[in-house]
Amino acid sequence: MSDAARRAEALFPPAFLRLLAAVPTVVRRARAGAAAGARAARGAGGAFLFRGHRPYRPGDDLRRLDWTVLARHDRVVVREFEAERDLRTEVWVDASASMGVAEARGAVARAAALAVATGLADGGRARLGVLAAGDATVRLDADDPAALPEVLRALEAERPAGRAHLAEALPRLLARVPARARLVLVTDLLTDADPAVLARLAGRGLSGALLHLRVPAVWAPPAEGLVEARDVETGAVRTVRWTPALAAEATARAGAHAERWARAAAAAGLACLPFAPSTPPETLLERLVREAT
C-alpha cells in the first residue's frame, strides 16, 4: 500500500466508504417524496418538467416508479424531474491550520465528503471549495455520485495551513453562492470574524448547514499546570497556569462564541450542526439529511 493510499485510508476508512456509498439510499429514504411535494407547491410548474428516466436504485420512492414502462418494456425505471437535477449543493471547507490539528482533519474531510455525497444524491450537483487566506477557491464540481472518489482525493490532498481569514473569505463566498442553493460550511469558527457576515445570505432562499467543528482542545488543553500554549495559525504563544477556574472560563467563552454563530446561521436559513472529531459519521449524516436537505 502506497503512502498516499495509507493516508487516504486514515482519512476515509473502509467503514466510512461503505457509509458514503449508502448516502443516496439514505437520502432517498429520508425524502420519501416529501421533497418533491414541497417543491411542487413552491415551484409553480417550471421547475418540475419531466426530465427523463433512470434505472431504479434501492431506496427509491416506489411512487416514482414508471409502471407503464415496467408493463410495456419490463424495465424498472423511475421518473426524474428538472427541479431535482438543478438542486445545487455548495460545500465549503475552512482550510486554516486549526482544521488540521490532530484528529480534526479527518473529521472535517469526512464531514465534507458526506455533505458532497448528500448533495449528489438523487441527481443533484455539488461543488467543493475551500476557504483559505481570505479567499474562496473552488476545488471541483461534480454532478454524479461517480465523482465521489475524485472528491475524496481532493479532500485528501487538502493540507490545512495558515489562516482562513473568514472575515474576508466569507463575504466573497457568499457573493457567489447562487440563490436557492444548498450551502454547507465546514469550519471550526476559530475566527474573530463577526457572525453577522452570514446575514448576507438572508432572503436568498438558501438552505444548508453550518457544520461547526468543536475541538475540545481549544478550551481544555491536553495538559495541566503551567502550559505554554501556541496558536497553530498565528504562532502566538501564551503561558498560562491551567486551573479549573481558567478551564471553566475558556469553556464559557467557547460556548458563547458558538451560540453567536448558531444564531447568525439560523437567521440566514442554515442549520447549525456542531460536531466533534469523535462524532460518528453515521450521526453526522443523519443530522445532515434530516436538517440540511
Binding site for other proteins (CB under 8 A): 97-99, 101, 104, 188, 190-192, 215, 217-219, 221-223, 225-234, 236, 238-241, 246, 249-251, 253-254, 257
C-beta of 104: minimal distance to other proteins in Å? 7
C-beta of 96: minimal distance to other proteins in Å? 9
For 4-16, letters b (16+ CB in 10 Å) and e give: eeeebeebbeeeb
Task: Output the nine-digit C-alpha cell for 82.
Answer: 428538472
Closer of 140 and 250 to other proteins (Cβ): 250
Q: Dihedral sign, CA of 154, 160, 161, 167?
A: positive
Residue that has been written with the C-alpha cell 421518473 in this structure: 79
C-beta of 218: minimal distance to other proteins in Å? 5
C-beta of 128: minimal distance to other proteins in Å? 22
CA of 97: how far to CAs of 131, 164, 197, in Å?
11, 8, 22
Answer whether 134's CB lies under 8 Å from 99's CB. no
For 96-118, letters b (16+ CB in 10 Å) and e give: bbbbbbeebbbbbbbbbbbbbbb
Closer of 133 and 232 to other proteins (Cβ): 232
Closer of 81 and 261 to other proteins (Cβ): 261
C-beta of 243: minimal distance to other proteins in Å? 10
Going across the sheet that includes 125-132, the strands are 135-142, 125-132, 88-94, 182-187, 207-213, 271-275
Closer of 63 and 253 to other proteins (Cβ): 253
Closer of 65 and 246 to other proteins (Cβ): 246
Any idea how long the chain is? 293
